[in-house]
Amino acid sequence: MEVAIPSTGRELNSQVSDRFGRCTYILIADTNGEIKEVIENEFQDAASGAGVQTSQKIANKKVKAVVTKNIGPNAFSILENSNIKIYEALDTVKESLNKLESEELNEINQGKPRGKPRGQSNKQSGKGQQRNTGTGNKGKDI
C-alpha cells in the first residue's frame, strides 16, 4: 500500500513533520519501507491554505493513506472525501511505516483546528484584571 508522509527530510530515518501543510517534503512510500517518490512541498510558505493545497496534491497521487502528526479540518476533509485514510504518526518515517504495516497506528477521525487567530485570546478584553473582583479601592475614600 502506498502512503504519503509529511517529513523534514528525504529519507526513511527522517522525522515526520509536525506541520502537515507546511512540511518540507512529502514522502510517498510503500508499507514495506521503500520510498517511491520524494516531493518538495511547494506550499510550505503559502500565505494561507497550505494544508488544503498539500492535501489536494497528495490526493492526486492516489495514495491509500496519509500518516501525519497533525492535520487541520479542511485538509482532513479533502483527504477523507478522496477515500484516503489518515493515521497518527510516530517520530520517524520508518517507525510510522513499520507500525502502519503491523496495523498498530491509530486512525485519525477528524482534523484539529489551529490555535486561535492572531489577536484573540482567552482574556476578556477591556475589563482589566481587577475589575469587579472586590480587590480594588471600590467604595473607599482616598
Q: What is the structure's pLDDT at 119? A: 47
Contact 76, 54 (CB under 8 A): no
**pTM of the prediction?**
0.77
Q: List, in order, residues 6 or more apart from 36 with CB less than 8 Å away.
A: 2, 28, 29, 30
Compute the mean pLDDT over every residue in the chain, rounded to the nearest whole number: 85
In the chain, the domains with their CATH numbers are: 2-101 (3.30.420.130)
Confidence grade of residue 121 (pLDDT, cut at 50, 70, 90)? very low
β-bridge mates for residue 66, sequence order: 4, 86
Whole-number Å distance between alpha carbons of 110 and 79: 11
Res 103 pLDDT > 70: yes
pLDDT of residue 123 exceeding 50, the answer is: no
Give residue-wise pLDDT tens across range 70-80: 999 999 999 99
Tell me the three cell numbers of residue 139.
Answer: 467604595
Phi, psi of 37 (to 5 degrees): -155, 145
Cβ of 66: how many Cβ atoms within 10 Å?
26
Helical residues (DSSP H) of 61-132, grouped into ranges: 73-81, 93-101
